[in-house]
Every structure is written in structure tokens, then in C-alpha cells.
Structure 1
Amino acid sequence: MATLPAAEIFADAALVRQLVQEQQPELGGQALHEVASGWDNYIYRLGTDYAVRLPRRRTAAGLTANEQRWLPQLTADVRVRTSVPLFCGTPSELYPWPWSITAWFDGQDVSVSPRDRNVALAEPLAGFLNAFHRPAPPDYPRNPVRGGPLSGRNDAVQGRLDSGMVPHAARVQELWAEALKIPHWTGAPLWLHGDLHPANLVAKDNTLQAVIDFGDLTAGDPATDLAAAWLVFDAEGRDTFRRSLGSQYDGDPHVWERARGWAICMATNLLANSDDAPGLYLVGSETLMEILTGDRERF
């Protein structure tokens, strides 16, 4: 049973207000309230237009530093809005790690939306990936669990399948074994969001408002992000998503098979580690059903 990691530092509203007043005083008088305390970050809403994100753990502080360094340049030409830092908070006597102020996006995360409505998001999400998946420089931030060969996730997936937490484990095991035989990505490392599931997409009125939470930012195999075809969409949405991507990935005949493998990896992770997050567990369950009952012959 997965539990939320304990916070290594406590950041209440009073501390956050002090930080904002100290480093971004023009925003210091705006209303502030906590909206989430997740795996890695505290999230506060600041006024009506901003969010404050502060790491709860030292490991998350490194992820925030990656976002601050790379996202401004990576998202400058992307049409879809993102959680790019608008202000990069620096360590101080009040708080020891980097923290950020981002835009606040009006809407709901897509994990609460019925999948048959997500087809409207397929084209803009494809546009985001076509723009974001560009070659990365040699010093891109490494990520031990995203962007590499599927074989690197075998121990983790096997552990989940043996845990009793994943339905239809025998059939999933067969599909995972097939995925491990697929040829690896041989191209240059491409920039990746790294965690492109529905809870990291914000929509309103069936319109994609933003792609958020780039904590797993890295580079490597684009199939990692293309797993969104199963994580976000039903069969109709997958068809629209793939058509909207155009020919960008046609040079690799195995990219969609690996993407399905990454969807298996991520779905089993959500099923085995979301005891305290029913919405994410549902995403894992629905994704697994899309993989087991879906459209293998079309990909």
C-alpha cells in the first residue's frame, strides 16, 4: 500500500506569505490559501491569477530547479499554456529550496472528465507534443524512470504485477513481455514532459487550458509521452490524437508499440501506488481497460 511521503519541511500559509512579500512584494497583499499538498509539492493559490509551488521534500527541490532552468526556453514557442515559472523563488533563511510562482489555470484536471469528452483535447495536446519534442542538449536533466528503454522499468512493473494490486495481471504480464521485445529508440534524446497523464492536463468547457507539472522533465524516447494515447483517450480520441500528430514520428515503426508499453508501465504504477488518490487509481484502471480491450491492430 502506497502512502504519501512525509514532508521534510512544513510550509504553511504564513510562511508562504512571508516568502512572497520578501521576494515578490507586489503580489504580497493578495489572498492566499492552500489547495493541495501532493507527492512532491505544496500548492497555494495566490489571488485569482497565480499559484505558488513549494517542494515538500529535498528530492522535489531538484525537480523545481530543473523546471526553473529549462521551462522558460522550452515553452516560449508552445501554443498551449504551461506551468512555466513566472517568478523563480530562491532559497533564503525562511525556506531552504527553490520555489516558483506560476499562472493559475481556471478549469479542472482532466482526470475527472469522462474519456469520451477528451477527444476535443486530442488536437491541442498533439500540437503541444509536436512543438515540445525537440532534440535536447547533452546536459538535459536525467530521470531514472522516464525516457529510457522499457527494460529499465521491468523490475518495477514485475513488482506491481506480483503485488495483487493490478487486475488481470496474467494478461498484463503477457503484454508487458511483448513490449520488452520491441526495438529501443535509437534517435537523439527528445525533450519530454515525462508524466503526461490526465491529472497534469487542465481543461474547461472541453478546451485544453494548460499542461502542468513538469517535475519529471527529461529527454529520451518520445514514446514515454505518447503513452497519453491510452492514459487520456478512448479509441476515438486515440485515432484523433495520432492523426493530429501528423508524420513527426513516422520514422520509427515501433514508437506506438513502445508507447503502449509505457502506458502499461504508468497504469500499473497508478494502480499500485494511488491508495490515497482515488482519481489517479481510476485513471490507472481505465487506462488498463483501454489497453486490454482496445485497438491493438490499429497501432
Structure 2
Amino acid sequence: MTGPTFTAASIDTQVVERLIATQFPAWSHLKVRPIEPGGWDNRTFRLGNDMTVRLPSAARYVGQVEKEHRWLPRLAPQLPLPIPAPLAKGRPAEGFPWPWSVYRWQPGETLSASTVDDVNQLARDLSRFLRALMQADAIGGPLPGEHNFHRGGPPGFYEEETRHALARLEGQIDTAAAHAAWEAALAAPFEDAPVWFHGDIAWGNLLVEDGRLSAVIDFGTSGVGDPACDLAIAWTFFDGESREVFRDGMALDRGAWARGRGWTLWKALIVVAGMTGASTDERVKQRAVIDAVLEDHHRFG
């Protein structure tokens, strides 16, 4: 499993069992079972009833391990909802080539239209969490870079990909409107003090219990910079009144929303243009996201 022969598919329960047995033998009696969906950046397994094991699925995600172990314990006391709690950091061994993590198990179901009782309340709770995250002590925090795929920086980092996607989608979407929304994002630079952001506020990283938002997980793309990338859920999940509740709760300026539309548009465009290997269902969903972003730009841009 080392070197070029290693693939994400090689990460299975047997690998995790061997890693636990050799590095944390006190936990070797606990049952290991995969969690589905297991994640993209990492593969996640349940360890007993109270822990999870997360292993990077590729070298480009390895930097997230040390970042989470260093910063999540510092952020947790400053936030109104639980976040992942690192318990132990494993080392490369047993054919697995990278460091890996053991976390406390966080109960809850992933967010969906069926698991949340009141979408407007979700918008209020999530905006409250993100505002608290933005107000957390950011001194010395990780700046945008390869560790988080440059989230928190300007969306223009993905200018080439965006232009390529737009060219491929000519005649399939309103590319003139998409160009305008993208240009508006580039024309609104972030000029405030850097703040903490999550970097991937999506349904799979939001947990719900008893119909309410109960935890926020997976801080692998987090960092300190521009929080506009955390606005994507305004168009990927919220709609109508709930989007406006979220907008009001975030209390960010017009430029932040322009950049948020830019980040969201970039991701949706490359998916719909077939540049990511996403499924047909995901491409259909992202096509609706493009429409929502462009409508929002027409209203507020």
C-alpha cells in the first residue's frame, strides 16, 4: 500500500484495525466499522461507540490532520455548537503512508430537508455559529493555501477553471449572466482583517438532532482569511425566506456576498461542465445552484 500503489480504495476496516492495534492497543478490542458516506477528503470509521477514525484519502489532504489537532481544541470553547474533538494522532504504519486521527464520536444525522424541522431556525442557528467562528481568536491561524485549496483567499485563484467551464457550457446556461456574476466577485476584494472560516459548510458537515442543528464537523478546509466561502450554503441548501434569514444573520457586506456567489459559481460550473467526475444527479443539483446564484446576482449584484 505504500508509494504509488496506494489508493483510497485500499483504506478498509482491516487497515484501521491494524493501525489501532499497533499504535493504540488499549482500543484494539473495540469494533471498527465504516461510516457511509465515508467522505471524500478522508475515510471515516466508527471505533466502538464513542470514537471515529479518520484517514486522509490522498496526499493533498494530509496537511489537514495537524491543523485540526492544533486548532480545533482552541476553537471549541469559543463556539456555540460542538465541533470535532481530536483524541489521538496516529503515525504512518501498516502500509498506510500518512498521519491519521482519532476523534470523539459526534452524534446526529447529516442535514437534509427531512432531518431538519424548521429551515428558518436552521438558518439562524448556522449564522450564529459562523458569526461566532468569525469572532474567534485568529492570531496565528492558518492562512489560505494548499492545505485548504485556497479557501479564504480570493475566488480569482480559480479564474482559469471558471473561464474554462464557462466556455464548455456556452449555449447550456446563461453564460453572459454567469460572466457578470463572476466579474462582480473579482471586483469585490476582501480588505478586512482575516477571520476564521470553516471552508466547507455543506449538508454533509452539518449534524442535526431532534430537528435542530447540533454540531458542525470536518474543519479540513478551515483557515483564517475571507469568510465569503462559507456563504455557499445560501444557494446550495437555503431558498426563499430561509436564504434571507441566513443573509440577515451573517450580517456581511455586499462585497462578501458577491465573493460568496463567486465561490459557489466556480464549484457549480466545474461540476456541471463535467470537470470533476461528479455523478449525473450531482450535476443536475449544481445546475439548479447556478440558476439560484445568477438570480441572486440579478437581485443584489
TM-score when scaled to structure 2? Answer: 0.82
User: Which residue, 185, 189, 204 being the options, matches 2:190?
Assistant: 185
Which of 263, 266, 288 is residue 290 of structure 2 equivalent to? 288
**Amino acid aligned to 1:140:** P
Contact 2:232 2:261 in 1 (8 A): yes
Aligned runs of 1:237-252 on 2, under 5 Å? Answer: 237-245=242-250, 247=251, 249=252, 252=253
Distance 1:281 1:199 in 2: 17
Within a 5 Å distance, the mapping from 1:1-299 to structure 2 comes to 7=7, 10-35=10-35, 36-92=37-93, 95-110=96-111, 113=114, 118-133=119-134, 134=136, 136-138=138-140, 140-143=142-145, 144-164=149-169, 167-170=172-175, 171-182=177-188, 184-245=189-250, 247=251, 249=252, 252-271=253-272, 272-273=274-275, 275-277=277-279, 280-281=282-283, 283-294=285-296, 296-297=298-299
CA drift of 1:185 comes to 0.8
Structure 2 vs 1, CA of residues 230 and 9 (structure 1 numbering), >3 Å: closer, same or farther?
Answer: closer
Give me the identity figure in percent. Answer: 32
RMSD, aligned CA: 3.1
- Aligned equivalents of 1:202 and 1:196: distance in 2? 11
Secondary structure at the aligned position of 2:10 is classed as coil
Q: 1:11 to 1:263 in 2, by over 3 A?
A: closer
Contact 1:231 1:267 in 2 (8 A): no
- Return the letter of the residue paired with 2:138: A
Displacement after TM superposition at 1:195 (Å):
1.5
- Report how far residue 53 of structure 1 moved: 0.6
Cα 1:210–1:270 change in 2 (3 A) is farther
What is the letter of the counterpart of residue 201 of structure 1?
Answer: L
Describe the shift of the 1:216–1:135 C-alpha distance in structure 2 as closer, same or farther (beyond 3 A): same
Aligned partner of 2:187: which letter? K
Change (3 A) 1:138 1:79: closer
Structure 2 counterpart SS, 1:215: coil
TM-score, with length taken from structure 1: 0.82
Structure 1 window deviating more from structure 2 (132-141 vs 170-179): it is: 132-141
Query: Could you tell me how far apart the structure 2 residues matched to 1:288 and 1:88 are?
Result: 39
Aligned-residue offset at 1:7: 1.9
- State the number of aligned residues: 289
* SS at 1:176 equivalent: helix
Question: Which letter maps to 2:245?
Answer: T
When residues 117 and 176 of structure 1 are mapped into structure 2, their CA distance, relative to the original with a 3 A threshold, is farther
Q: Encode CA deviations 1:202-224: one digit per residue, 9 max, x unaligned.
A: 22443113212212122211111
Q: Give the 3 Å change call, closer, same or farther, for CA 59–282 of structure 1 in structure 2.
A: same
Deviation at 1:113, TM superposition (A): 4.9
Secondary structure in structure 2 of the residue aligned to 1:39: coil
SS in 1 for 2:7: coil
> What SS does structure 2 have at the residue aligned with 1:68?
helix
Name stretches of at least 5 consecutive residues in structure 1 with no aligned partner.
1-5
The one-letter code sitting in structure 2 at the alignment partner of 1:72 is P
What SS does the corresponding residue of 2:89 show, helix, strand or coil? Answer: strand
| Paired letter, 1:7 | T
Take 2:261 and 2:18, find their aligned partners in 1: how far apart are those partners?
Answer: 46
The aligned residue for residue 3 of structure 2 is none
What does residue 3 of structure 1 align with? Answer: none
Q: Which moved more, 1:148-157 or 1:163-172?
A: 163-172
Cα distance change, pair 268–117 in 1 and its aligned pair in 2 (3 A): farther
Moved more, 273-282 or 89-98: 273-282
Deviations, residues 226-275 of structure 1 (Å, cap 9, x unaligned) = 23222231121121112333x5x3xx442222222222123224434554
> Is the alpha carbon distance of 1:41 and 1:70 closer, same or farther for their aligned partners in structure 2, counting shifts above 3 Å?
same
Give the letter for the 1:191 counterpart.
Answer: W
**Structure 2 unaligned residues grouped into runs of 5+:** 1-5
Moved more, 203-212 or 90-99: 90-99
